[in-house]
Structure 1
């Protein structure tokens, strides 16, 4: 009998202990669940802010920051790299005639066409306004081919925006990275080529270090 009594007493104590500990276990589980949710929310916020920092809000394409990060990484590896800059001609007229909302729709469609080019184009970027860029992993021939493809895709067929047919042309400049070149130098070289294409109304221009004026060049948008 004493053995049974001792057993029942032990079981009773165990059950009492479990009953006392139950609220604590529930509370610990709630804390763990809260922590997991907080970490998930924090990760989502981090991803959202990163996306806002590296994406153009109009077209959702990578932006200038994303481009410079990619150029820096590629140049640091010594890989062949070309850059194509694309500026839409007379885009202000499109906004004036069709409105900014339709203008944004047009920019989005331009971004889609450029994004669909594929290798050796590895990144299609919306820099700002009506200006786009393509990062090319390749040599001069690859970069020239990408520039011609971009020019053709933008202008070869009209855009259907809200039931209206809108035609576009573009000025395209391109450059290839030289040894020890920095991202800002490559961007400047392609920018200068795009300015020359705009000024000469040729549509396309390749940066030539031996011919093009070195140093800061006036941008077409800076001209009177």
Structure 2
């Protein structure tokens, strides 16, 4: 009576069968980076046969050009220290497609403990990284307007204030939006907010971040700023908001109050938001309307 299929195979045969069947990208390179071994999965990935790959520097086959020097340095360090660290980078398929590959590398030593080769187990994580990026984007996006949400704004603020040179902030609160929402319903109000987000995105500079802070409040974060540029942007936001919005029974007119504040390195995101919000509130309660309100925001510079 025989056992299950394969149970009578010797360990060497089992290992060969496993390597042949694995969809992970396996290779062994010598101390100079030349391929000593590749499994069928890597051969399919590169579009080359085992014979075509043997003896070729691996960075000449599947490493993207900008990572070749890093790959050469990693091999030299691993052979010198006996330690190879996990890595992740872009590889090129035989068809020239970039794929993201996570690598676990192991330095192989001889009987005397001297490194002679490096074994690499590569796992194609391209689709996984794309899904993660999509999830991150969704988590950072306001679903109604399609612009950045409050969480994305605070992440950007922390990066500018803690690790960067500081930034300026325009805090924009819509006037009479509640009247429109109450009279025409949430669907019309939502459409107005989406249109406002579009207009602000068109006004913002290429390095600026437009975010919905919440409700009918929007923020424009300006990493690179000049006083005159901030004043011009604030005026343009006021003018853009004055343009009527399409409504179910004719044009809808609202306004906006804009507060401006500048954050220096060491400020917190909450401090900067509070100053800009305070400036905006001062504009909202000011008796004059229009561009005069935007100019008054300069008081917080």
Matching residue within 243, 250, 256 for 1:170: 256
User: So what's the TM-score if we normalise by structure 2?
Assistant: 0.54
Cα distance change, pair 66–201 in 1 and its aligned pair in 2 (3 A):
farther
SS of corresponding position for 1:83: strand
The partner residue of 2:297 within 175, 181, 206 is 206
- Of the structure 1 ranges 116-125 and 100-109, higher mean CA displacement relative to structure 2 is found in 116-125
1:153 to 237, 240, 247: 240
Larger helix share, 1 or 2? 1
Establish whether residue 114 from structure 1 lines up as the match of residue 188 from structure 2: no
54-63 or 44-53, which deviates more? 44-53
State which of 167, 182, 185 in structure 2 corresponds to 1:81: 167
| Cα deviation 1:59-93 (Å, max 9, x = unaligned) | 01001221122222222355352100111112111
Q: 1:199 to 1:117 in 2, by over 3 A?
A: same
Greater length-normalized contact order (CA 8 Å, ≥ 6 residues apart): 1
Counterpart CA distance in 1 for 2:214 and 2:285 is: 20
1:127 shift after superposition:
1.1
Residue 181 of structure 2 corresponds to residue 95 of structure 1: yes
Residues 56 and 127 of structure 1 are in contact (CA less than 8 Å); yes or no, is this contact kept in structure 2?
A: no
> Contact 1:171/1:197 (CA < 8 Å) preserved in 2?
yes
Distance change in 2, residues 1:131/1:201 (3 Å)? farther
Q: 2-side partners of 1:199 and 1:149: how far apart?
A: 20
Number of residues of Structure 1 aligned to a counterpart in Structure 2: 186
Q: Is 1:143 matched up with 2:143?
A: no
Shift, 1:124, TM fit: 1.0
CA distance in 2, matches of 1:120, 1:77: 20
Structure 2 matches for 1:16-95, cutoff 5 A? Answer: 28=22, 39=125, 41-79=127-165, 81-95=167-181
Alpha-carbon offset, residue 103 of structure 1: 0.9
Post-superposition shift, 1:161? Answer: 3.7
Show the counterpart of 2:213.
Answer: 127
Q: Distance in 1 between matches of 2:156 and 2:130?
A: 23
d(CA) in 2 for partners of 1:161, 1:198? 24
More strand by percentage = 2
Q: Give the Cα separation in 1 of the matches to 2:212 and 2:176.
A: 17
Q: CA deviation at 1:207?
A: 5.9
CA distance in 2, matches of 1:200, 1:152: 17
Query: What is the TM-score with the length of structure 1 in the denominator?
Result: 0.70
